[in-house]
Amino acid sequence: MNVVKKKPGFTYAAAFLSASLIVIFGVVALSACGTKQSVASDNATPSAEPGDQSAREGSRIIDKVLSQSAVDQSLTRMHARVHDSDGTERTVELTMLRKRKPDGTLLTLAEFTSPREERDRDALIKVSPKGDVEATRFMQSTGSFVTTKSASDEESLFGLTVQELVDGQLDKYDFKLAGEETVDKVPAYRIEGKLKSRADSKFPRVVLLVSKETYMPLHAEFYDNHNEIARSVKIQRTAEVQGHWTRMQWTVDNRARRKTTEFDVVEARYDQPVPESVFTEEHLRQLASK
């Protein structure tokens, strides 16, 4: 069994996702990305419009990115260190279980294992093949379930939206290639995504820097309705686990709430069977009563 494990604890990089897939590396040079064209003759086929070319490339790149997460099941254990706007800091431990059903439905269970008072944050998330989201939590104080069907709800995890918990739902966006950059000496594509018509998201625009070699996001920016950065994600470390490139260390900067969360994966598996019974309200209730 090929399993990546680390001793519990955080390793801090010099700066700040990619993650789940998220502060900025700094200003990096943006070079225009284009294709050389030969001189056209009278019988030559007209060249594609630049906008068409950038859209095709953007679509190709995002398809490669999405293929990284196209797995049937996974288990990820991680630590998260939360820095609040008032200067306080807390650390939690959580486990993310994921399973994709034959019909394409993605099931995710976020279980907070420490400290115990975070149990109310345990969440069961279902994403339909059409991208519809349903997130459920069990509230110990009232003995009842709370369900939201909004991808923009921020109450599930440290001020992150449900959309962010399921890796941004990047298939909700139409992407175009906007250029090329170098991130910490790694050549990267810069692609920009515009929210599709009638898609539900708190972020109408997304910018990703994607490694040319692995097609893993290196940095992400999520923009609000005023076209200002609401979130930034920086991936500090990735690793290949059982043939899958995996985020191992990343930071999410929630600028609106002036809060940052640093994630550090201590174990990742793709070969451990995950029974569908864990993705039920009854199991969620049992977790809360541990």
Note the pLDDT of residue 130: 83
pLDDT exceeds 80 at position 163: no
pLDDT exceeds 50 at position 4: no
CA-CA distances (angstroms) from residue 186 to 36, 109, 148, 218, 279?
23, 33, 39, 9, 38
pLDDT exceeds 90 at position 181: yes
Classify residue 31: in a domain, yes or no. no
Q: Are 61 and 188 in contact (CB under 8 A)?
A: no
Classify residue 13: in a domain, yes or no. yes
- Model confidence pLDDT, tens digit, residues 83-116: 998 999 999 999 999 999 999 999 999 999 999 8
- Model confidence pLDDT, tens digit, residues 215-251: 999 999 999 999 999 989 999 999 999 999 999 999 9
Identify any residues that bridge with 241 across adjacent strands, giving them in sequence order: 244
CA 288 to chain centre: 26
Residue ranges making up the domain that contains 178: 4-25+49-288
How many domains are contained in the chain? 1
The CATH number of whichever domain residue 234 belongs to comes to: 2.50.20.10
Which one is predicted more confidently, 121 or 23?
121
Helix (H) or strand (E) holding 266: strand 259-269
- CA dist 74 and 20 (Å) reads 13
Note the pLDDT of residue 135: 87
Q: Are 224 and 213 in contact (CB under 8 A)?
A: no
Q: Are 250 and 239 in contact (CB under 8 A)?
A: no
Burial bucket for residue 109 (CB in 10 Å: 0-12, 13-18, 19+): buried
Classify residue 178: in a domain, yes or no. yes
Note the pLDDT of residue 162: 58
Residues 218/85/261/124 CA torsion (nearest 10 deg): -120
Q: Kindly report whether the peptide bond that precedes residue 115 is cis, defined as omega within 30 degrees of 0.
A: yes
Average pLDDT over residues 175-183: 97
pLDDT exceeds 50 at position 66: yes
Classify residue 258: in a domain, yes or no. yes
In the chain, which ranges are continuous DSSP H helix?
Answer: 50-67, 162-165, 281-288
Note the pLDDT of residue 257: 84
Which one is predicted more confidently, 110 or 36?
110
- Model confidence pLDDT, tens digit, residues 113-137: 999 888 888 989 998 888 788 889 9
pLDDT exceeds 90 at position 43: no
Q: At a CB cut-off of 8 Å and minimum separation 6, what does 203 contact?
A: 163, 195, 222, 223, 224, 230, 231
**DSSP per-residue string spanning 116-165:** GGGGGG-EEEEE-TT--EEEEEEETTTTEEEEE--TT--TTBTTB-HHHH
- CA dist 117 and 119 (Å) reads 5
Note the pLDDT of residue 45: 36
Classify residue 131: in a domain, yes or no. yes
Classify residue 75: in a domain, yes or no. yes
Note the pLDDT of residue 40: 35
Classify residue 177: in a domain, yes or no. yes
- CA dist 94 and 103 (Å) reads 27
Classify residue 32: in a domain, yes or no. no
The tokens for 192 are 């920009």
- Model confidence pLDDT, tens digit, residues 247-278: 999 999 988 888 999 999 999 999 888 999 99
